[in-house]
């Protein structure tokens, strides 16, 4: 399964939930959300613990679609917010990492 096929499957799987949601209402197509997710997953970060996260999440999606197993996605779910925090507020991420090391 190619990356484009995985991205399309993610959009397709999420579509019904997004379209049926009333509060909040999501006015944008799930294709746009999936595209944004995969653009973020293509980014590389300078953190060895999170560097492989993108590949793990993509592999997890592949396993889910091929085998129906969510297990490979679970570790990525925990670390993905940290991955996003690097882009949103690098200083806050640095403080979080310092506290984790204490």
Give 12-39 pLDDT, tens digit per residue.
988 888 888 888 888 888 899 899 989 8
pTM: 0.71
**pLDDT at 7 (0 to 100):** 93
Higher pLDDT, 91 or 50: 91
**pLDDT at 11 (0 to 100):** 92
d(CA 62, CA 94): 31
pLDDT in tens, 43-90: 877 777 677 888 888 888 888 888 888 777 777 777 788 878 888 888
Q: Tokens 């917010």 label which residue?
A: 81
For residue 94, give the nearest of 42, 50, 40 by alpha carbon. Answer: 50
d(CA 28, CA 3): 22
**pLDDT at 50 (0 to 100):** 73
d(CA 9, CA 70): 15
- Give every CB contact of residue 65 below 8 A, 6+ residues apart in sequence: 1, 6, 9
d(CA 102, CA 95): 11
- Under 8 Å between Cβ of 80 and 53: yes
């Amino acid at each position: 399964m190619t990356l484009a096929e995985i991205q399309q499957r993610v959009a397709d799987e999420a579509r019904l939930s997004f379209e049926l949601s009333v509060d909040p209402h999501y006015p944008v197509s799930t294709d746009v959300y999936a595209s944004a997710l995969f653009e973020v997953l293509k980014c590389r970060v300078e953190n060895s613990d999170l560097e492989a996260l993108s590949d793990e999440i993509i592999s997890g999606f592949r396993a889910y679609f091929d085998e129906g197993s969510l297990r490979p996605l679970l570790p990525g779910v925990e670390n993905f917010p940290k991955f996003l925090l690097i882009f949103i507020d690098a200083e806050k991420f640095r403080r979080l990492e310092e506290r984790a090391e204490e």
